Structure 1
Amino acid sequence: MNALHFFKPELLWLLPLALLPLISYGVKQFNFPGLEDWPKDFLSDWLRWGVRVLAALTLAALVIAAAAPFTEGGTVTKVGEGAEIVVVLDRSGSMSENLQSYDQSVNAKPISKIEAARKVLLKFMEQRPADTFGVVAFNAAPVSVAPLSADRELAKAAMQSAEANSSGFTALNRALAMGLDYFNNRPFTASRLILLVSDGDAVIEPADRIILKNVFKQTRAKLIWVYVHAGAEVTQLSTVIAGDNEIITNEALAKVELDQNLAMNKLFEELEIPYQAFEVNSEAGLQQAVAEIGRATNKPTRYEYRLPRQDYAVYFYMLTMGLLGVLFWLKQIEIKAWKA
């Protein structure tokens, strides 16, 4: 049985006042000749002390009710489905490049990597009513655009507002750290997922890797990287190298990109955390990757549900009212005067 607690325990110091009715009779008395020679009236004695005890109980119940007694609700273990997902969306300039279209028709409209990511992720949110979502967008600096909550419309608006913007350096480590901060001070009630949607080409310093590794383990979060690419990236390597007049071919450019992202994948693997990567180069591939993520996070989750506390003040107030009613009735049948 749960222990009884009091919201205002300092009021319990007033409990000794409940002894006052046992000290003072509190009932009208009449002058009459001594009746020492008469037989003892035990019924009257019991009634007299019964009234005193009722008054004492009334005061005690009132003081206890004012102190607001309650018991903690405790917790129960439940099993449900769903996940806490923080989308970390790359909005660097390279994300504005077009994906390979899955629609092979002549009039197929090209779609950029960030547009395809937004479109697929918004649909993913609609299909996951039991999940909570948060959104972090980043290029040179991360921006918290939607907190982790069940407010699906807020997350959708944040996703729709993300636009690619070239600013040079990509702050991947700070974006991941901000996404992990969303899990701080939250009970572990569901699977936790950092969903990184990026075209790679980022560097994380060794010191930052150690910090990320520790935070991932503390929050018990899983990392999934959806690597979105469109073949050879268009970067400064596409231009003529100064002094050499040598133009980098698409094959060489693709090798540079591959080397960069293999290194990034290896970096994530070396963090020794739950990690999975998907490589996509079309909107269809992106949809398949997100569908696979949905299946991977749709596992039963065991969590603790905290029950509300049980308040007992109302019961003590009801007891007080009942005892007052009895005392009021006794007062009404009290003899007001001796008949002549």
Structure 2
Amino acid sequence: MNAALEFSRAWALLLLPLALLPLLPGRRDALVFSHVPWLPPDRAGAALGWALRVLGALAVAATVVAIAGPQRPETFVQRTGHGAEIVLLVDRSRSMDERMVPSDWRTIDPLNLRYQAASRGEPKGKVARELLAKFVAERRDDRFSLMFFSSNAIRIVRFTQHDAVVQAGITAGNIGRGLSDTDVGRALAAAFAEFDGRAYSGSRIVLMVSDGGARLDAATKQRLHAAALRNRVSLAWIYLRSVNGPKLDTPGQASEAVPEIALHRFFQTLPGHYRAYEAEAPEDLARAVADVARQQNFPLDYAERVPRRELGRIALALGIACCALLLALRAVTLGAWR
């Protein structure tokens, strides 16, 4: 940790010699007596006089330092915790504005389920944002990066441990309506690239929340495979399954034609650990997020950013305190003389 001290107005330090002025004897301190040995020793008065001078010098010095603008520069501190570096990759396409099925969907007539979901269910995006906000709040040692995607990936927050910034980014995802197009391949490539150039310090994961899949071409698959291998990234996909949507574990070669199933099977070939969660109702999504939290709890080394700290107020407070004591001692001295 760099503990150096910086000054925003260093030229003001040239005024520091002025602090010596109160230490110099003044003419008013010279009293005329016919015979000095007749004076009794006044140790208390001498100590009080020196206290007044020292307080005056400190008041001037502290004021000069406050004018110079002292500050501790931004530093980084190496710490070790338990958690992960997590990229939150959230689908912001128009389908995420649709509603999830209600919590009691298993008791609803299947013929009436779509209508019930459209009228009583919570919007997928809203439920996802609320649970991700809670997820971030509960994981103090993690470092988060936040991205939204539809036709393009949009980076909202770079890796940070300050959850207030991430929370603000998650809240911002509620603004406006999403686009109709979704490019999962481009979004995942951007998410994996977030780890480029970062020193490997512990568990890494891309947590993707989406309700749709995609059929990726061979070149995109190759790029994603290389990026996951290069950065040693794991992937977790929370699949928000729509009413009558396909199940990811549907067997058979014919199911490869379904984008969600095709994407799921490709993810299973990636070099890092992959885990898929199907969420139909809000409680399913909550369980998926909780399971990710349990899985990603390994030792993590990270550099914590310590922001710049202004110290001018401390110097100014010291100067004011010295002036207050100076006035109090002067008042006591004058009272004693009277």
Q: TM-score range by the shorter chain?
A: 0.5 to 0.7
Identical positions, percent: 15
**Alpha carbons 2:147, 2:153 under 8 Å: kept:** yes
Choose which of 72, 88, 91 in structure 2 pairs with 1:89.
91
Choose which of 173, 191, 194 in structure 1 pairs with 2:186.
173
Question: Could you say if the C-alpha distance between residues 155 and 125 of structure 1 is closer, same or farther in structure 2, counting changes exceeding 3 Å?
Answer: farther
Choose which of 316, 324, 333 in structure 2 pairs with 1:321.
324
Residue of structure 2 in register with 1:200 after alignment:
214
Question: Could you say if the C-alpha distance between residues 209 and 288 of structure 1 is closer, same or farther in structure 2, counting changes exceeding 3 Å?
Answer: same
Residue of structure 1 in register with 2:256 after alignment:
255
- Stretch moving more, 142-151 or 13-22: 142-151
Deviations 1:171-219 (A, max 9, x none): 523455269759x99xx9x9975224241323426456545655x56xx
Residue of structure 2 in register with 1:238 after alignment:
none
**Alpha carbons 2:15, 2:64 under 8 Å: kept:** no
Q: Provide structure 2 residue ranges, at least 5 long, that are not aligned to the other structure.
A: 159-164
Deviations 1:26-64 (A, max 9, x none): 42656665x3xx527472588458525632442223312
**Distance between the aligned counterparts of 1:201 and 1:228, measured in 2?**
18
Question: Could you say if the C-alpha distance between residues 232 and 92 of structure 1 is closer, same or farther in structure 2, counting changes exceeding 3 Å?
Answer: farther
**Distance between the aligned counterparts of 1:78 and 1:135, measured in 2?**
22
**Alpha carbons 2:3, 2:72 under 8 Å: kept:** yes
**Distance between the aligned counterparts of 1:94 and 1:178, measured in 2?**
19
Question: Could you say if the C-alpha distance between residues 192 and 39 of structure 1 is closer, same or farther in structure 2, counting changes exceeding 3 Å?
Answer: farther
Question: Could you say if the C-alpha distance between residues 179 and 120 of structure 1 is closer, same or farther in structure 2, counting changes exceeding 3 Å?
Answer: farther
Residue of structure 1 in register with 2:15 after alignment:
14
Q: Which has the higher helix share?
A: 2
Residue of structure 2 in register with 1:67 after alignment:
65
Shift of 1:129: 8.0
Q: Which amino acid aligns with 2:111?
A: V
**Distance between the aligned counterparts of 1:277 and 1:149, measured in 2?**
24
**Distance between the aligned counterparts of 2:133 and 2:92, measured in 1?**
21
Tell me the SS of whatever aligns to 2:110: coil
**Alpha carbons 1:21, 1:53 under 8 Å: kept:** no
TM-score by length of 2: 0.57
1:229-244 paired onto structure 2 within 5 Å? 230-231=245-246
**Distance between the aligned counterparts of 2:127 and 2:96, measured in 1?**
18
Q: Provide structure 1 residue ranges, at least 5 long, that are not aligned to the other structure.
A: 234-250, 336-340
Shift of 1:20: 2.7
Residue of structure 1 in register with 2:161 after alignment:
none
Choose which of 293, 296, 302 in structure 1 pairs with 2:292.
296
Choose which of 154, 165, 176 in structure 1 pairs with 2:171.
154
Question: Could you say if the C-alpha distance between residues 126 and 306 of structure 1 is closer, same or farther in structure 2, counting changes exceeding 3 Å?
Answer: closer
Deviations 1:226-282 (A, max 9, x none): 34673499xxxxxxxxxxxxxxxxx87523448843552145x22x3x54223x4x7
Q: Which amino acid aligns with 1:291?
A: R
**Alpha carbons 2:126, 2:174 under 8 Å: kept:** no
Residue of structure 2 in register with 1:141 after alignment:
152
Q: Which amino acid aligns with 1:138?
A: F
**Alpha carbons 2:228, 2:234 under 8 Å: kept:** no
**Distance between the aligned counterparts of 2:38 and 2:209, measured in 1?**
91
RMSD: 5.7
Residue of structure 2 in register with 1:124 after alignment:
131
